Structures are given as C-alpha cells and as structure tokens.
Chain A
C-alpha cells in the first residue's frame, strides 16, 4: 500500500552456488530485487526455483557466493557472524513453517525470547497490542504442546514482531496448517502490515496465500521470472501457468506480467 521510495531490503547480482564442477548447482543466478518498506510481498516459484535460498540470503541466514544484500543502509554480506546475529535479533523477525517454538517455555516466554536474548525490557504497550491483535490473551501461560497449530503460529508471529523489526521473513507460514487456520494467520500478517506498519516478505507455493500480499515476485531457475502487483489467486495462477509453459523443453524466455 503506502510504499516509500527507499526499499527495506534490496539484493543486487545475488548469486548462490552449491557444490563444485559437475555437481555445481546455481541456486540463485544474479538476482536483482527490491522489497518496499511497509508492504507485504510474496515470493513464489516452483520447487527448486531458488525461492528458499533467496529468503535465506535476504535474511542473513546464509552466506551468498557473490552479490550484495542491503537491509536499509546495512550491507549484510560484509557482516561477521556475531554482527549478523545481533542484526537478526534487533532488526529482523522470522516465522517458520514448523512454528519452531521452544517447547519448555510458555507462549509469553516464547514471544519475549528475542528481547530476553538481547537483554532489553519489553515495551509493554506493544506487547499488549500484539497479544490483542493476534488474540493470544487467553493462551499466554500455555506451553506450545497445549496450543493448536494456528495458535502456535500466531505466537510465532508475535515473537517475530516483538522487537519491532524492520522486516519480517516468513517461510511457508501456512504449510503446516489447515485452510482455516492458514487464512487466519495470513490475515494477521496482512494486518501487521496495514495496521501496525510492518514489512513482511513471505515465501509460499500456495496462490491463495500469495493473494493476501500486495505484490508477488515470481522466481524460476534461480532468476526473477515475473512480478505481479495487487495479486488475486487467479492472476497468480496465471503467472505460474505462464512460467510452466515457457519452461517447456525449448522454453528459455522471461515473462513479465
């Protein structure tokens, strides 16, 4: 929606190569992409297209072979492990497919964990806002094993947002959820962008999920293969379909939508 000119995250000539020689796999091959601040962007593509690798590199979880990633003014590719860890702690948030809550902590302890690690005091008002928005008020003292999948993922979203990060990365956040819980989680992500002013980048292979985003970036064979603004499930499906037909035996062309 209210996108500004300066992107929250930007990648330039981003390349990631696994293996050597004959076993060499170019998971990402010179990707240039910007993600606007205050927007909800989805990354889509077929299996093995490199969308997960792109997310890992954008989030500073993995080292790029070449190219740069900027978070605001910070060049992630020059940071050492400790600086990178602190940056993830203070400036990024994560939502995982399998929730990844710590089973021995309560929901509240899980939410506050990033602040705990940083040794900073939680902003109580923000915590209450998040708990209210995500509807976790009744569940704060429960452990993950006592929560449903959708509730666990909402706790994970609260954990991702608690430190007011510049960008939240979500990797298939609805992959382990039934469609109702999935829809719930996606609306929460969208609300956190529209009402709380956050930036969310989400990887998904589900066109319906992608339709919740403001923009969809299509990726195939390690390259950007398309860009859809204000997507609907139909337009996303069409884009994916176009990729598939062009990916035929002779297909090498790039499509823009």
Chain B
C-alpha cells in the first residue's frame, strides 16, 4: 500500500508541492519565532552574567551595611560588594540626560565595567559617564555636570509633605568602558561612589542598598557557599550561573509573553494552512475516485484506503515542515546577522542556537496539522464505492449536502457570540467592573461568533459568490463563464475564500482597532500634551534681550509654527502652590482649542493635576496672602500650570517678566528632531530648558503604529498562505475542467478569453473572501475598540479607508496573479482533448 501511496504522490507532485508551501510557510513562522525566543533568552542571560563581573557567588535579597559586614566576615570570602544601581538626571548647559549609575566596587574582580578615559570615581561628587551620555551632554573628562534628584520630606506625615528637588555639581572624572556590552540594553551606564548613589536614591542609613551582593571567594568551594548562606539567612546564595538563570526567569517573563503572542499569530497561519491542505486533499481524493474505486474492487479495505491518504498527508506534512524548519532557521540567522551589523542596543549572539524544542515543535506541529487536515478527505475516500470504477468517467463533483446540524450550530455560535460581543461593548461603556473582565468577555464572545461564521462558511460563502457573480452577468460571456464556474464546487470555493477571509478579517480588525484607538486617544493626548514644546527658565530670571533673541531664534527653526512669550506668577490655593501663566493668544497655541474652552476674563483654566482646586472652589491668594478675585475652571490640560488670559493676569501681577516660551509646531513634523533643533539654536545667554510634549505624544502614536505594523506583518503571513491556496484551487479546477476548456476552445473560445475567464474566477474567489473579511474585521475592530476605550469616554469609531482599500486591492490583484500559472496550463490544452473519450 505504501508503494501505491508513493506512486500516487508522484503523480500529484505539483499539487502536493503547492499545498506543502502553505505548511512550510506556517512552520517556518513557528521555527523562526522559537529561535528568536531562544536568542532573546540567551541575550538576557549573557547580559546578566556579564553584569556580575567575575563574582563566584551571588547573594540575592535585601543587602544593607550589616549584611555586608557579615558577608565579609565569612571565612573564604575575599571580597563582597553590593551591586548598587541608581539613576540621576544630569544637565549641562541647556542639554540634559538621564543616566543609570553603578556604584564602584572596591574589588576590581567585582566590577562589570571599567573606565577607558580618565579614572574611576573615588570621591564624593565624582562621576564617570557612559560615552554616549557624555556626547549627548557635550561634556568631556574634567567638565562639571549638574545632577538633580529628589529627596523625601523630613517628616513624611506632615500635611504638606512634598519631595524636595535637590541639585549637586558633579565632576566628570572618566568615561565608562563596557567592552562586552553588559549594560548596553540600558543605553550605557555611569559610575559613582556607592555613597552618592545612596544619597540620590534617597536611601536612609539602615535601608538596603541593593538586592544583589557579589562575592569573590578564595576557592569557589561549596563550603564557602554554605557558610555564606548560613551567615546571610535573609538572602539566597547562588552561583553566578544560577543567579543569572533566576534573574532571567523573572525578567524574561516579558520576553516569553512576546514569544507566546507571536506563536499565537503562527497558530493563525497554521490554521489557514490547514484549510488549504484539507482543500487540496479533498480535490486529490475526488480526482482519484476511479483509482480508489478500482482499489476497492480488487480488495482494498476501507481502512487501507484511509491509511493511504493519511500516510500521504504525514509524508507531505513532514517534508514540508522540514523545509519550513530550514527556511525559518535561515531567516532567523539572516535577521540576526542584519541586526548584529546595525547598531542595536543589545549584545546579540552571532549564531542562532538550535534547541530540541525549536527543532521538534515545528516538525511535530506541521506534520500533525497536515494529518489532521487530511482526516475529513480521508473519510471521503473511504466512501468511494467500488461500483464507481465501472461508471463512465465524468468530472467528479464533490458535492454533499451541508448538514442542517452545521447550519444550526453555525447560527447559534455566530448570533450568540455576536450578541454577546455587542452586549460586552455596551457593558464596557458603562464603566462598571474591571476593564480586563470586559476585555476577556469580548475576546471570548468575538472568538465564538467567528468560529460560528467559519463553520457556516460553506453555507453562505457560495451564496455571496453567486450574488457577486450575478453582478458580473452583464460584463460579457467570459465573466459569466467565470461566475458559473466559481459556484460549481461550492465547498471548495467556500474553503478557499474562507482561508483568505480569516487572514483578511484579522488584518482588517487590527487596523480598524488601531485607527479607532488612535482617534480615540488623540483627543486625550491633545489634552494632556496640549503645548507642543515648552521652554522654561525654571524660575531663574532671564535677561529680556536674551529672551527676545531666543524667541527670534526659535521662531526661525524649521517646523515651528508659532512662538509665544510666557509670563508666570505663583499663587497659593490654600496651602498649595499654583503656577499661573499667560500668553498673548493661548487658543492658537494649544493643540485642541476645546481643551481650554473654560478660559475667559476673570476665570483661570486649571490643569487636571489641580482640578481639586476648582472642585472645592478653593479661594486663591498671592504668595503674601492677598486674595485674588478670579474663578477657576477644571480641564484636562496636562502639566502643572494654570492658564489665564492677559487681562486677568495683569490684574494679578502686571510686572511679571517673561519666564519662558511656548511653541506650537507644524503638523506632521518630527517633534523630537524639531525639539533638538530648538535646543541647538538657543543662544547661550538664555538658560532655557526644553520640554517636548509633542515628542512624547508622537511617541505614543508611534507605539500604536509600530504595534499595528508588526501585527499586520505577522497576520500577512496567513494571507500569503491563503493566496497559495487560491492558486492551488484554480489549478485544480483547471485540471478537472480540461475537457470543458478544450470544448470551449473547439467551439471558439480564444486563449485570451480563457485566460481572462480564469482571472475573473480568481478575483471573484479572493474578492469575496477579502470583502467579507473586511466587513467582519470592521465589525470586530469596532467592537474591540468599544470594549477597550468605551469606558474612557472618548470613543470615536473610525474606518481606516486607506488600509481597507489596500487589503481589498491586494486581494484582488493576488487573485488575478494566482490565475496566471493555472491559465498557462489551461491555454496549453489542445482543443483536440475535447474529442478524447477518456
């Protein structure tokens, strides 16, 4: 029987290869994802190990001075140093940067980084900078930078307890050298004394200074380890490798989640591949009806026939999976090589690491999916009766009446799930219960209804195709021929369209969801980041002439639409400080005029952070206690400054000087770049700090866009597989209809007409799948966005016309393209074939 299976496979090689491509793409996806996950884990592992320097043992737990003393007293311990990390905000001139800082370990063995230029900080107020930070701040060894940090109030229980901003002048004594890139993923690291870091982190004398203690021992023996563990009962003592593994397992949770999510997309791709496979096998079985019947005539058992089909699927699945595994590995390796060449902020290994899981999972999953997909066709094969071998050959029509059970089940799931989804979207808008609960419900009911839609596809997709084909009736005889051919085998057309429909639905859903999210969030963002760029002297007096010069310079920067001088006065709302600003025309300056709609003469608009003042109608006074006669209005304005119009402001303090500049940028410019340009043109006499809310806002928008692009890219794999399926279906139809094509050619169908008829057929199949997918995706995308953003109130359903048009156009073009190869074969058929008897 195996010999027969192999012989049949050889005869159907072309079709099997086409089906195999679908599986290979899916398994390549899985393999590449698993390998990328390995690289991710590996990268993290290496980085963590590097961060421990040459420590023999690592103790994890709260490390304070007492722990240190105890650890150093353990026999066999040569050095014990806390791995102290902290952060500090550094400013030099008008440039600033945040720097992660490590405490300098006294013992060289426990240092993970060195100093290449200058020396290691050894005294209070000394710092060594990462080279990139030094460059960003424009400082060199020997210069001074200003560090700002916060310290907690002396009495945390006081009524108006506030963190206090402190600054310190630090001398740059060296540049950090991190040759192995142990801290590259943090954007580099600085060095300072442990005492300074402790002060910047606002740690008290008894507070733990680190969570990791690095220990160098004389011999690295197990004895020392046990002694250390006994001495430090609050900590876990591990070897360096154990500690790295443990740290990884904690912080690579995020990485694992990512791998899981991507594997989810791979599963979608494999599901689509399974549809393509099932379809191919169904047709293979239909085509071999005579052979199968003959086998049954000469004594093949039903089981043998079924096994033959399943074995064929297993061979195909394994072969295609192996190809997919190789392709996926090659892709991962190429991606790694490309990333290693670019300036990526992580130490990546040079080659991928093949683990058993990364090899076996794609092979097993790919084979399994193929075999499972072949089970239904295999059952169809066993139903071929021996008598069929004796009947005259005619095109086998794989038509069986779709069951009533299927219809009921499909309706139940689709309608039930759809109603549940609608209910979820409406329920989420009420804001009751945890949003995650609504999200979970939404995903569940959405998935349920989609399963219902897919189960029923074989019933309603042909109907839609028939209607769409009906519209083509007037478009001439070739279109009519194509339309008639498309609905001849409803089951196959449905399966092919459905494969595409899944991918397109998901792509459309994601882009609709993202578009809606963007529109819904943009209002929120334009409130919170109302002013694009703010230049402020932070309370320092600025010379009026220098301010004018700065204003002119900023106005000349490309991408700046408007610059307005800002005056500031400090008021008190009860105990609370309130900064009030004014400018000539705030309405043109803010992103969305509605944000400050409450602004009028005698009324201030408060930022959302101070809205409590408006709610309580707290009376305002000047800093010396004089009452100020204004009313206040709450708003969603971000930041900490209240806004007043010029008349109201002058009534409070007509002499307040210009303390800063507020800038509105042109739409569509890169805010981060323009902000940097602004910083660069500022004259040295005006010590203004630049804060770019626009850059932050664009950052958020970019996150949404990037995520969307990644997700759509991943789903596109499923669409590509589905298109392979379309080509496959068309070529199978062409083979089945060889006699008909020949007849048509004999009675006067030109090659062109035959080609265009197939092109229309391909476009009809993909067009219907894509159009239905777009409609479904739109509905699901809206429901999803309503569920997520409904409670936030800013819901605005958006249709991403551009994206949806692209999806439709790609599908139609792909349908046309998918017909090219089958059409070549069809037109090669000689009209003589029409006269052939069999």
Contact = CB atoms under 8 A, between A and B. Distances in A.
User: Do A and B interact?
Assistant: yes
Interface of A: 52, 55-56, 59, 61-62, 81-82, 85-86, 88-90, 93-94, 96-98, 100, 102-105, 113-114, 116-119, 159-160, 171, 175-176
A70 B488 CA distance: 39
A62 B745 CA distance: 12
Is chain B's binding surface mostly helix, strand, loop or mixed? helix
Interface stretch (B120-128, B535-543, B826-834): B826-834
Interface centre among A81, A90, A175 (most CB of B within 10 A): A81
A89 B750 CA distance: 9
A94 B753 CA distance: 19
B837 interface: yes
B490 to A, nearest CB: 12
B739 interface: yes
Contacts of A113: 477, 744, 747
A104 B481 CA distance: 9
Contact of B747 (A62, A94, A119): A94
Given A88-B747, A102-B740, A176-B392, 14 more contacts: A56-B835, A59-B746, A61-B746, A85-B749, A85-B750, A88-B748, A89-B748, A90-B748, A93-B747, A96-B834, A100-B739, A100-B834, A114-B748, A118-B748
A96 B739 CA distance: 11
Interface in B781-838: 830-832, 834-835, 837
Given A61-B830, A62-B830, A62-B832, A100 B743 contact: yes
B408 interface: no
Contact of A117 (B477, B484, B740, B837): B477
Contacts of A93: 747
B485 A88 contact: no
A96 B749 contact: no
A151 B747 CA distance: 19
B484 A96 contact: no
A61 B835 contact: yes
B299 interface: no
Given A88-B747, A97-B837, A118-B748, A104 B488 contact: yes
Interface string B727-752: 00000000000011001111111111
Contact of B835 (A52, A82, A105, A159): A52
Interface in B450-500: 476-477, 480, 484-485, 487-488
* In the complex, the 8 A-B pairs of residues with the closest C-beta atoms, listed nearest first: A89-B748, A116-B477, A100-B743, A104-B484, A61-B831, A85-B750, A61-B832, A171-B835
Interface centre among B395, B487, B749, B835 (most CB of A within 10 A): B835
Contacts of A98: 739, 837
7 contacts: A81-B750, A88-B748, A89-B747, A89-B749, A90-B748, A102-B740, A171-B835
B745 A56 contact: no
Contact of A103 (B395, B480, B830, B832): B395
Contacts of B484: 102, 104-105
Contacts of B487: 104
A196 B832 CA distance: 28
A103 B488 contact: yes
Interface of B: 392, 395, 476-477, 480, 484-485, 487-488, 739-740, 743-753, 830-832, 834-835, 837
Contacts of A119: 476-477
Contacts of B753: 117
Contact of B750 (A52, A59, A86, A100): A86
A81 B749 CA distance: 11
A211 B745 CA distance: 31
Nearest to B739: A100
A96 B835 contact: yes
A71 B750 CA distance: 19
Contacts of A171: 835
Contacts of A102: 484, 740, 743-744
A104 B485 contact: yes
A82 B477 contact: no
A119 B477 CA distance: 7
Interface centre among A55, A82, A89, A97 (most CB of B within 10 A): A89
Contacts of A52: 835
Contact of B740 (A90, A100, A176): A100
A178 B746 CA distance: 26
B743 to A, nearest CB: 4
